[in-house]
Amino acid sequence: MRAWIATLLLAGVGIGVAAAAAPGVIAVLDPASQFEFSLQTRWGQTLAGKFPDNEGDVTALPDGRRQVRLKLSTRTLEILDHPRYTRFARGPRFFDAERFPDVTFLSDPYPVALLHSGGELHGRLRMHGVERRERFVLSPAECADPGRGCAIVARGAVRRSDYDLDGWSMAMRDEVRFSLHVRLRDTGAR
C-alpha cells in the first residue's frame, strides 16, 4: 500500500516517464515516496506496514486545480518484521491480494494552495472491492515547492469493517492509520 492512501496526496497514480505521461499529467510519484500504515492488536501491540509498490500522478485541471490518483499494490504490502503477518495480510482472509491486487485513491479536485497551507483532502478510496469517500489531512509544507523540495505529508484513518476487511477481527482493532510521504517528479508538462 505504499502508495496509498496514502498520500492520496497530491501525488497520484502512474509512475512513468515524461514522454509516456497522459495529457494534463504534470507529475508522477517519485520512488522515494513512502506509503505506510499501522494496525493495533486488541492487546495494544502496534503493527507497522508499508506499500512498497505504488504508482501515482498529479493532473492539472483546466480550472487551475489539481487532482491526484494513487494505486498501491496489496500483493507486495509488508507488515514490518513479521513475515507471517505479511502472509496473512495478503491472504484471502484479509486483503485477498489475488482477487483485489490494488488499493486506489482518486482525490477530489483541490487548489494548489492546499499543498502549502495543509488541510483536508477528500476523495474516493477503493479497497477490497469497496469504494468509499475518505479524508486525509495534509500537513503544512516545510518548503516552497512541496513534493519536490520536501515531501507532501498526509495522514488519515479508515475502518477495516467499512471495506469488508474483517479477517483477524478478534485480534485486531478496526482502525487502520495511514501515513504518506509523497515525493514527485515533474513530467515536463508543468
Q: What angle do CA 182, 127, 138 make, to 5 degrees?
A: 30
CATH number for the domain harbouring residue 123: 2.40.128.110
pLDDT score of 184 more than 80: yes
Examine residue 1 and state whether it is found in any structural domain, yes or no. no
pLDDT in tens, 131-151: 999 999 999 999 999 999 999
Closest CA to 49 of 181, 178, 182, 183: 178
What's the rounded Cα separation, in Å, for the pair 39 and 179? Answer: 12
Examine residue 9 and state whether it is found in any structural domain, yes or no. no
Q: Domain limits at 112?
A: 18-186
Examine residue 13 and state whether it is found in any structural domain, yes or no. no
What's the pTM value of the predicted model, to 2 decimals?
0.84
pLDDT band for position 167 (50/70/90)?
low
Examine residue 10 and state whether it is found in any structural domain, yes or no. no
Number of Cβ within a 10 Å radius of residue 132? 12
Say how many domains are in the chain. Answer: 1
Q: Is the dihedral of CA 162, 164, 167, 169 positive or negative?
A: positive
Q: Distances in Å between the alpha carbon of 58 and those of 26, 131, 152, 187?
A: 6, 20, 13, 10
Number of Cβ within a 10 Å radius of residue 144? 9
Examine residue 170 and state whether it is found in any structural domain, yes or no. yes
